[in-house]
Structure 1
């Protein structure tokens, strides 16, 4: 479980940065060479490579060498872990809200009975 939590933490950390989210969004369309990712971003190549490394380290992106280019591609499996985390949180909060709604309805019924 701890390893799973660390992976989710790393994915959330990676996605906390606007540049990395832009890279993920771009790669969700199709794989791209580092040069293609670099062109629209206002930063130095070493900075972009650091962002790609963070995305690689958490499993969101995989890179491979093709000739003289490094190709980046999205790895959606890492997002499935965050989906599971969100689903669990959603279920907890929906249950809490359901209990709160039942409590409020009970209070309203009690008020009507006391009138």
Structure 2
């Protein structure tokens, strides 16, 4: 029997309220595996959860929460190991189990901000 649980970002990230930003892509409408339109319906930020063994989490937004940050900047920061840290205070993570016994995560939010930790340059 499948189960579902809603938690916040720290609950899946070892108690940390920020994560490593590793990707940003546009979201388009799809149906039955076919793209319906070239009109963007949202943005997906991909995070690496440093408090969870760098597991990835995709967070979907109905808008671009970080319009000044391009995916190319994120890729360059990752390549240089100068990661961009992001806080998503209203992130709702849905943990779910499938009938096959696997566990998955999906997430949605409305706000995101790049942060600098105290002592970081």
Q: Under a length normalisation based on structure 1, what TM-score does the superposition of the two structures give?
A: 0.24
Flag the structure with larger Rg.
1
Instruction: Report the structure, 1 or 2, having the larger strand content.
Output: 2
Larger relative helix fraction: 1
